Amino acid sequence: MSTSAFVPKVCLIGGGMIAHDQILPSLYQLQRLKAIGEIWVCSQHGKTTRALAEAEPIRRAFPGFSFVRYPKDDSGPYPLLYRDVIAALPPRQIVVVAVPDPLHFDVVMTALRCDQHVMCVKPLVLKVEHAEQIEREARARGLVVGVEYHKRFDDRSLMARRRYREGLFGEFKLGCARLMEKWYYRHSNFQNWCTVENSDAFTYIGCHYVDLVHFITGLLPHSVSVYGIQDKYPNGNMGFLWTDARIIWQNGACLNVQNSLSFPDAAPGTNTQGMSLYFGAREVGGWLEHSDQYRGLRYSYVRKPEGAGATQFAEPSPDYFTYVDLGGPGLTPVGYGYRSIEYIIRQCIRVETEASTLEGRQKLLKEIDEQGIMATPANSRYNELVTEAGRLSILNGGKEVVIEYGDSPHVRFRD
Ligand SMILES: NC(=O)c1ccc[n+]([C@@H]2O[C@H](COP(=O)([O-])OP(=O)(O)OC[C@H]3O[C@@H](n4cnc5c(N)ncnc54)[C@H](O)[C@@H]3O)[C@@H](O)[C@H]2O)c1
């Protein structure tokens, strides 16, 4: 066992919305706590990392903090620069992947082959065989791959999980979940990648609720059908911007998940989301209702605040990610968005410091897989299966696609 403090460098690939809203400030906070060292950020355009470096909310929270930019100036695009940047990192540090969904596989594999631990935003990858390759590569090298499903770290999810497993709800039978992002998302970089051939509203955001139902109940999804409605982005690209998914679980339970980029910009809250689950026991029904965007706060400001999607009448969430003033300097990020990132980064540090041999690290990785708190390629394969099945279904008019588990998990149309 190593006794010296291990303070890894962290290299963030991608500098878009999620990097700005959650990842970079969480990494800065971990740097403030001296848990991590230097931060590098690589994006394909230098202007993206400049905008991130100059973002006012982050500068206000972290005065004097900075990261190393790649590319060094405002030039670009350099679509493969991340390969050189990751290769330049000393081995066994941490790479955080926050690029569009279709690029996750190459960035994650590049990082693993350079002996780096990985935190990847959801969905890990779009095909189950890619998840299998990632799992094999990570295990062989004794490296962590944590998939950032932050809703797992919302205390309400952890409460529901415990109570379900104590038998307080009975057995999951029916559920509906929704997550509608605001209309203005259509004007963002999404229009360049969240297009019909690459992704859809369910793949992008519905996966959170599929993951959550497994996280709470332990059940596995067994078939998927996704009906999508195409709509035109402002740049003319087409996307499945409205989706309705039906997931049938191993016990026959059914979850309906609706997703879109449609919630009115004028409506309060940054989106609308939540789920209702219905359960059965021998003589009585169980019920769980989570409003995941209205957290009980209603503010009516005297003017409209700055920022995309801000409204004068607001229902802010104190639970996902916000900055609070704990006396400074700067502000402190709090919420499950921060806790999720802290948890994954600390698992990487743990594996690097608590074991000094490959066998020791593999044993720890197995423990992490089995605990099932952090999503890993080994313990959340169902997510890639649902994603792959969902894509097949949506591109075929909502046809039902069955998930086959076993030695070589795969998806196929129902006969
Ligand atoms: N709730 C969530 O968990 C959540 C929320 C938002 C986004 N995400 C995920 O995060 C990822 C990024 O989403 P986003 O909202 O930040 O998107 P975005 O379009 O705002 O940002 C993507 C970033 O990736 C960069 N990029 C694109 N190609 C690149 C390349 N070849 N090399 C380096 N950088 C490249 C872009 O320059 C941009 O900075 C997606 O996989 C998305 O599904 C998760």
* CA nearest ligand 1 atom 32, residue: 44
Residue 226 Cα to ligand 1 middle (Å): 23
Q: Which atom of ligand 1 is nearest to the CA of 18?
A: 16
Residue type, 72: K
Q: Are 219 and 210 in contact (CB under 8 A)?
A: no
Global pTM value: 0.95
Residues of the chain with CATH 3.40.50.720: 10-149+331-378
pLDDT given at position 307: 81
In this structure, how many other beta carbons lie within 10 angstroms of the beta carbon of residue 95? 29
The rounded radius of gyration (Å) of the Cα atoms in the chain is 21
Residue 113 Cα to ligand 1 middle (Å): 22
Residue where the block lists tokens 């400001």:
301
Contacts with 378 (C-beta within 8 Å, 6 or more apart), sequence order? 135, 139, 369
Superfamily of chain region 155-319+386-394: Dihydrodipicolinate Reductase; domain 2 (3.30.360.10)
In this structure, how many other beta carbons lie within 10 angstroms of the beta carbon of residue 158? 15
Residue 98 Cα to ligand 1 middle (Å): 5
Residue 101 Cα to ligand 1 middle (Å): 7
Q: Which atom of ligand 1 is nearest to the CA of 205?
A: 1
Per-residue burial over 282-312, b if 16 or more Cβ lie within 10 Å, else e, is eeeebebebebbeeeeeeeeeeeeeeebebe
Superfamily of chain region 10-149+331-378: NAD(P)-binding Rossmann-like Domain (3.40.50.720)
Residue 129 Cα to ligand 1 middle (Å): 22
Contacts with 80 (C-beta within 8 Å, 6 or more apart), sequence order? none
Q: Which residues of the chain have pLDDT under 70?
A: 1-4
Residues of the chain with CATH 3.30.360.10: 155-319+386-394
pLDDT given at position 35: 98
Per-residue burial over 109-131, b if 16 or more Cβ lie within 10 Å, else e, is bbbbebebbbbbbbbbbbebebb
Ligand 1, pocket-test mutation among 22, 40, 99, 105, most atoms within 8 A of CB? 99
Closest C-alpha to 386, from 184, 286, 180, 243:
243
325, two tokens: 């003033």
Contacts with 74 (C-beta within 8 Å, 6 or more apart), sequence order? 45, 46, 47, 50
Residue 13 Cα to ligand 1 middle (Å): 9
pLDDT given at position 2: 46
CB-defined site of ligand 1, < 6 Å: 13-19, 42-45, 48, 79, 82, 98-101, 103, 121-122, 150, 189-190, 204
* CA nearest ligand 1 atom 4, residue: 18
Q: Which atom of ligand 1 is nearest to the CA of 190?
A: 19
Q: Are 85 and 60 in contact (CB under 8 A)?
A: no
* CA nearest ligand 1 atom 3, residue: 122
pLDDT given at position 66: 98
Residue 254 Cα to ligand 1 middle (Å): 31
Residue 14 Cα to ligand 1 middle (Å): 6
pLDDT given at position 4: 57
pLDDT digits (tens, 9 = 90+) for 42-94: 999 999 999 999 999 999 999 999 999 999 999 999 999 999 999 999 999 99
Closest C-alpha to 308, from 44, 56, 42:
56
